[in-house]
Amino acid sequence: MNSSAPPGETPGQGTDARLRADAERNRDRILAAARRLYAIEGLGVSMASVAREAGVGKATLSRRFATREELITAVFADRMDAYANAVTAALDDPDPWHAFTGYLHAVCAMQAADRGFADVLTMTFPAAKALEARRTEAYNGFLELISRARDSGHLRDDFTAEDLVILLMANAGVIAATGDAAPDAWRRLVGHMLRSYATPGTEIPPLPDAPTPTALYRAMIRLSRTGPGTA
């Protein structure tokens, strides 16, 4: 019996191509759905929720991404590249203090733009080798930024790389708590922290305006309804 394959294709070749195309479309749908959910709700989103958002079954999701870490790595690969590239750009700045403050603002802004990425920067994923390699690259670059800013006389001698982790944790908490009720509250936090990092007499960027009482009240109402772990 003759095959119904189009001219130029061997039997089964067309079917294989269609299956590969379907698999790629499903992968793209899963990644797009995960990006949407993680950006809004953080990394607490379940794999089942991602599958529903993507319009695929759990089995399809598992075939594309066997573990949560694999999905997170794929979703945030480009953002981790941007995170590592931000420290590279800062190291090219001839002004060590400007480089240091600019980097902190850039990273905290990345967190504010994507709640899922805010979580990624305050967690570790040992099984996600590529993601952790980029994190290590950024960390090593930050150590150099610290050294240069200290040598310039503008950064306190007792500032450590762990202080960045503390800042990112605090910033992630502010972002999660305030949401769209006070979306720029994180800028105020970073402004105050820079004042604590600087040596006396160092020029510091102007302190951003504080959120209005109404905005903070809305954020507190929102937090009371959702809970601190799911704001």
Region of poorest pLDDT, from 5-9, 44-48, 159-163, 216-220: 5-9
Q: What is the pLDDT of residue 128?
A: 81
Which residues are within 8 A (CB) of 188 and not within 5 positions of it... i.e. 6 or more apart? 207, 208, 209, 210, 211
Is 152 in contact with 201 (CB distance < 8 Å)? Answer: no
The whole-number average pLDDT for the span 118-124 is 85
Is 135 in contact with 164 (CB distance < 8 Å)? Answer: no
pLDDT-derived band at 11, boundaries 50, 70, 90: low
pLDDT digits (tens, 9 = 90+) for 148-182: 999 999 999 999 999 999 999 999 999 988 988 99
pLDDT digits (tens, 9 = 90+) for 84-107: 999 999 999 999 999 999 999 999
Checking if the pLDDT of 142 tops 70, the result is: yes
Is 77 in contact with 130 (CB distance < 8 Å)? Answer: yes
All domains of the chain in start order, with CATH? 10-66 (1.10.10), 77-226 (1.10.357)
The reported pTM is 0.78
Question: CA–CA separation, 120 vs 131, rounded Å?
Answer: 10
Is 168 in contact with 111 (CB distance < 8 Å)? Answer: yes
Q: What is the pLDDT of residue 230?
A: 47
Other Cβ atoms closer than 10 A to 217: 13
